[in-house]
Structure 1
Amino acid sequence: MPGQLQIAVLPSTNPRLGIVFALYPSTELSSPEVASMGMTLPSVPRTHELPPVPPDAPFIARERLLSLDVFRGLTVAGMLLVNNPGTWSHIFPPLEHAEWNGWTPTDLIFPFFLFIAGITTHLSLSSRRARGDSERAIRDQIIRRGALIFLFGFLVNGFPYFAWANVAGIPDPTFLQRVLDRLMHWRIMGVLQRIGIAYMVAALLTRKTTLRQQVVILASLLFGYWIVMTALPVPGEGTIGALLLDRAPRTMEAWVDRVVLDWTRFGMGNHIWVGGVTWDPEGILSTIPAIATAMLGNLAGRWIGQRRPLTERLSGLFAGGALAMMIGLMWNWVFPINKSLWTSSYVVFTAGLACISLATIMWIVDFQKVRGWTRPAVIYGVNPIVAFVGSGVMARCIYSIIKVPYDGKRVAIQSAIYQAGYASWLSPRLASLAFALSFVLLWYVILSLLHKRGIILKV
């Protein structure tokens, strides 16, 4: 059923036909939706073509732009690369987040996810309407998908669902005590949780509103967040938020996180990101402008799906992206570009850069037809939920949980592999990068096997 969690092995003489997944949301294997996502997989024989696209389907359905798959896949590969270094102590600067204000290429990955989600959401909804789905069915599916994506992230946060390290105050804890300790510190928010919320709210807001109404909503989110973060006094701090933007634990965002997510005052533990303790980088308040990122992707999807020549749409994406980047950089003067706070300037700037990046890929792949290099990107992009959840669980296992004897002591298996296989003969930064690249390659192999067998995790 649409919106329910499915693990499907789709039989076919060419199993690649079964691999159709749009990053938030996924799609059914119906021709209009498959086409609307730009899902053109390489080297599929013409004997396996899908049924014709209805004449009233969105224009993009007739083109099946491969660039959308490539953009999504490159983003997935980038996520795997920056999230899994050999050691966090030795990372090349472009592969780590900005210390606070500003940005690096790593800070672009998350908003690019949300941006492409907004694009595919618009195209998916247009296709569902073209095939006659009711508005109620569309609404219900949006809500179910958003909830499932949130649930995935929540479950990943809790893995392995018991405290594998020491439990404070208990020298020899029982398994039940370990489980209870984990529950007391189970982080509620996270990356997938933010994606689920942003996708769901943005899809519901844009489902039946006009373009003008969407622009008004978008502006309200961005300017409203700016006002709340800068003009209002932060409770307990004695000053307005604008004077505290460079102090993470003292911002309005941090205060809201403590009020909503820190339950120690009720004796129920602290459910904020363990690295922040007093604030969460994917917290409550900063999720509001993340909705705007998805809505900007929706607007880009509107433009891409129009009945215009590809060159005209490319020009529009380049121009719109450049304008958004310029606005973001100007806004940065008074509301700094900051990923952790997901500032309004960050939203507009990264959306502009996403537009230009997508337009560049469209020009190479769909206009110039240079496609020989695209297969790896498509492999990464067709099963993003598996890549995100699976790599997160694997990383937690090898970085923290699974211990092996090495050099006279028990260490995490990742540390042993890294020290013996990489750090023993490479400089620290190169060794760390080489391990990360190996992790990316490992997941290419895993995703390729799923691709060949037509296995897809559908939400």
Structure 2
Amino acid sequence: MNQNQRFLSLDVFRGLTVACMILVNTPGSWRYVWEPLQHAKWDGCTPTDLVFPFFLFAVGNAMSFAMKKFSTMSNAEVLGKIFKRTALIFLIGILLGWFPFVKYDEAGELVFKSPANLRIMGVLQRIALCYGIGALLIHYLKPKGALIATGVLLLGYWAVLWAFGGSDPYSLEGHIGLQIDKMILGENHMYHGEGLAFEPEGLLSTLPAVGNVVLGYWVGWFVQRNRQSPTMLMRLVAAGSILVALGLIWGVAFPINKKIWTSSYTLYTVGIATLLLSVMIYFIEIRKARAGTYFFEVFGKNPLFIYVMSGVVVRLYGLIIINDQNFYGWLYTHVFQPVFGNYTGSFLFGIFHVLLLWLLGWWMDRKKIYIRV
């Protein structure tokens, strides 16, 4: 393989992750979702709980290519690039949460959505912070130093939760991150889907999530440096297996948990991502089995833009009212549910939106439109 050639498997991995993010975020009805497509209620890890950490892992993979340019830039230019990208992604996340900036009131009139209850954190906001912190660690400490720093973050997070979390430090209400988010963000600007103000993309739990980015960078960096080595794939599989085992072992004392993003969860998800990527490298790069890869390449070429558009589409549905029902609910209850039933209809509703967003990505690829933040 040419030394400057990108690994198609990395692009397919990223695209697969984006497609899965759209699928799990757009069921026809949250009442009818098969268990593998639901998040674990608290401790544990479902297939859906792998999607977000896989995306962060893919962000790290992409950084292993993009940050090569940093060596030709001044320190001020590097910092400007990192902080600009971090700020833009964070701002896009906030605006997406606020979009479409209007809502229907009780009288059925469109009114301006006040920022008084605007959620500050979210998926894109966490991606932004993890990218920014991860990029700074890698830039200043280099890959090996960033790896050590990641270990410190994971152990430090565990220590902080254990020391300041009271009698049940890994519970919803005992998690010290909850108090930090309330103090800094304020309850009005937090997620309320758990029955109380709780931020699953909280400030403190963002620190171990940085590990998914740094370790993703490390895997991408390792693959590039060892692309000609006959033992590269074997070493990658060994690393992934060790990380999964370490995550499971650590999970006995520090349960695997997405909502507070435990350190064991970071190791476990990075391990599975590494194993999945190893399989893709074997089939796509070594065996040249590339049938069907273009479907996921389309998502991987404009990942952030397509993810943002998936949120825009769903939120625009809320402005279209048909017989006292928004278009999202109407489309499910009048098309997918009657034809396919509750659960299958809900699942195919999500598949429909994956395909809808794929068509957008396909059109952009045909037009050579690639939006980078």
TM-score, with normalisation over the residues of structure 2? 0.95
Relative to structure 1, the CA distance from residue 165 to residue 359 in structure 2 (aligned partners, 3 Å threshold; closer, same or farther) is farther
Report how many aligned residue pairs link the two structures: 372
Q: Tell whether 2:372 aligns with 1:455.
A: no
Q: Which residue of structure 2 aligns with residue 299 of structure 1?
A: 218
Higher helix proportion: 2
Q: Which residue of structure 1 aligns with residue 127 of structure 2?
A: 195
Q: Tell whether 2:196 aligns with 1:272.
A: no
SS of alignment partner, residue 49 of structure 2: helix
Q: Which residue of structure 2 aligns with residue 401 of structure 1?
A: 319
Shift, 1:173, TM fit: 8.2
- Measured in 1, the distance between the counterparts of 2:16 and 2:144 equals 32
Relative to structure 1, the CA distance from residue 441 to residue 211 in structure 2 (aligned partners, 3 Å threshold; closer, same or farther) is closer
Unaligned runs of 5+ in 1: 1-58, 264-269
Shift, 1:216, TM fit: 2.4
Shift, 1:275, TM fit: 1.7
Q: Percent identity?
A: 34
Of the three residues 94, 110, 115, the one matched with 1:154 is 94
The superposition leaves residues 197-253 of structure 1 with CA deviations (integer Å, 9 ceiling, x where unpaired) of 100110011113144422321111000000111222x4xxxx34xx2423x133211
The superposition leaves residues 92-141 of structure 1 with CA deviations (integer Å, 9 ceiling, x where unpaired) of 11111111110111111111111111122122112442xx3333322211
Q: Is the 8 A contact 2:244 2:268 kept in 1?
A: yes
- Mapping of residues 300-379 of structure 1, within 5 Å: 300-379=219-298
Unaligned runs of 5+ in 2: none
TM-score, with normalisation over the residues of structure 1? 0.77
Of the three residues 249, 254, 257, the one matched with 2:178 is 254
Q: Is the 8 A contact 1:161 1:183 kept in 2?
A: no
Q: Which residue of structure 2 aligns with residue 83 of structure 1?
A: 25
The superposition leaves residues 289-312 of structure 1 with CA deviations (integer Å, 9 ceiling, x where unpaired) of 111111111211221121452542
Shift, 1:154, TM fit: 0.8
Q: Tell whether 2:343 aligns with 1:429.
A: yes
Of the three residues 76, 79, 85, the one matched with 1:145 is 85
Question: What is the alpha-carbon root mean square deviation over aligned residues?
Answer: 1.9
Q: Which residue of structure 2 aligns with residue 97 of structure 1?
A: 39
**Partner amino acid, structure 2, of 1:188:** I
Q: Is the 8 A contact 1:60 1:304 kept in 2?
A: no
Q: Which residue of structure 2 aligns with residue 53 of structure 1?
A: none
- Measured in 2, the distance between the counterparts of 1:295 and 1:221 equals 11
The superposition leaves residues 397-426 of structure 1 with CA deviations (integer Å, 9 ceiling, x where unpaired) of 22x332112xxxx10112211112111132
Q: Is the 8 A contact 1:86 1:432 kept in 2?
A: yes
Relative to structure 1, the CA distance from residue 310 to residue 86 in structure 2 (aligned partners, 3 Å threshold; closer, same or farther) is farther
Q: Is the 8 A contact 1:253 1:279 kept in 2?
A: no
Q: Which residue of structure 2 aligns with residue 245 of structure 1?
A: 170
Shift, 1:373, TM fit: 1.2
SS of alignment partner, residue 332 of structure 1: helix
Q: Which residue of structure 2 aligns with residue 215 of structure 1?
A: 147
SS of alignment partner, residue 457 of structure 1: coil
Larger radius of gyration: 1
Of the three residues 352, 356, 363, the one matched with 1:438 is 352
Shift, 1:441, TM fit: 0.9
Q: Tell whether 2:138 aligns with 1:206.
A: yes
- Measured in 2, the distance between the counterparts of 1:413 and 1:209 equals 50
The superposition leaves residues 356-410 of structure 1 with CA deviations (integer Å, 9 ceiling, x where unpaired) of 1111111110010011211101011111122111110111222x332112xxxx1
Q: Which residue of structure 1 aligns with residue 75 of structure 2?
A: 135
Shift, 1:458, TM fit: 1.8
Q: Is the 8 A contact 2:192 2:198 kept in 1?
A: no
- Measured in 1, the distance between the counterparts of 2:326 and 2:82 equals 40
SS of alignment partner, residue 76 of structure 1: helix
The superposition leaves residues 131-153 of structure 1 with CA deviations (integer Å, 9 ceiling, x where unpaired) of x3333322211111111111110
- Measured in 2, the distance between the counterparts of 1:309 and 1:287 equals 35
Relative to structure 1, the CA distance from residue 296 to residue 307 in structure 2 (aligned partners, 3 Å threshold; closer, same or farther) is closer
**Partner amino acid, structure 2, of 1:148:** L
Q: Is the 8 A contact 2:147 2:215 kept in 1?
A: no
- Measured in 1, the distance between the counterparts of 2:78 and 2:225 equals 21
Relative to structure 1, the CA distance from residue 163 to residue 274 in structure 2 (aligned partners, 3 Å threshold; closer, same or farther) is farther
The superposition leaves residues 4-54 of structure 1 with CA deviations (integer Å, 9 ceiling, x where unpaired) of xxxxxxxxxxxxxxxxxxxxxxxxxxxxxxxxxxxxxxxxxxxxxxxxxxx
- Measured in 1, the distance between the counterparts of 2:184 and 2:26 equals 30
**Partner amino acid, structure 2, of 1:315:** M
Of the three residues 288, 304, 329, the one matched with 1:385 is 304
